[in-house]
Amino acid sequence: MPRDANTTAFNVILFDGFESLDVFGPVEVIGQVSDIYRLGFYSLHGGIVTSAQDARVDTYPMTDADPDGVLLVPGGPGTRLLIDDATFINQLLGLAKQASFVLTVCTGAALLARTGLLDDHRATTNKLAFDWVASTRPQVDWIRQARWVRDDIIYTSSGVSAGIDMVLGFIASQYGTATAQQAAYHMEYVWNTNPYQDPFALT
């Protein structure tokens, strides 16, 4: 598919200890609509970052990202340290404030929450890490049972694989269900279409 200046930036934020599928599930979906979006991978200082599964991915500095794009923030064990990195959180705040949409997967919600932008908004996160994430920012309206949650321009998903369902839901909202279904079909992915059906919620 053509990639030209008419596409919108889809900015993926990476960091050491990011969860591989949090990133590359959504990235696979966005790759199905590459006539709409161009993917870019960014980290605080740029260069190689290493996923929790030992994949080394090359990135550009976050200051190079087009701030008017869509922002994707994954989770992973690296978030436990990163929420206390004021430089990173400030950069993330800058990008998130200007982004057309902000999407988080798994414990990526803890990073966005730390910016304050989730305060008084509905959001969800990884179910096995739910209590930790919620404790980092009680000002957020954390939803315990949801595959993903949309609150205005912010989408947050449950753990890991839920990011795929959420980004398909995002595509459906923006470009119609048929476009999302076609993306899922090309990925041979059985899309869990209902954001309220959450088999992994701990009640």
- Which residues form the interface with its own copies (CB under 8 A)? 19-21, 23-25, 27-28, 30-31, 34, 38-41, 48, 52-58, 126-128, 158-162, 164, 185-190, 192, 199-200
Q: Compare residues 40 and 94 and give the one whose CB is closer to its own copies.
A: 40
- What is the nearest approach in angstroms of its own copies to the Cβ of residue 157? 9
Alpha-carbon distance of 183 to 191, in angstroms, equals 10
Residue 133 in contact with residue 142, Cβ under 8 Å? yes
Listed residue (90, 96, 158, 88) closest to 123, CA to CA: 158
Q: Compare residues 25 and 69 and give the one whose CB is closer to its own copies.
A: 25
Q: Compare residues 89 and 170 and give the one whose CB is closer to its own copies.
A: 170
Taking the C-alpha atoms of 45, 167, 131 and 127 in order, what is their torsion angle to the nearest 10 degrees?
-130
Helix (H) or strand (E) holding 179: helix 177-186
- What is the nearest approach in angstroms of its own copies to the Cβ of residue 86? 28
- What is the nearest approach in angstroms of its own copies to the Cβ of residue 44? 17
Q: Compare residues 126 and 136 and give the one whose CB is closer to its own copies.
A: 126
- What is the nearest approach in angstroms of its own copies to the Cβ of residue 161? 4
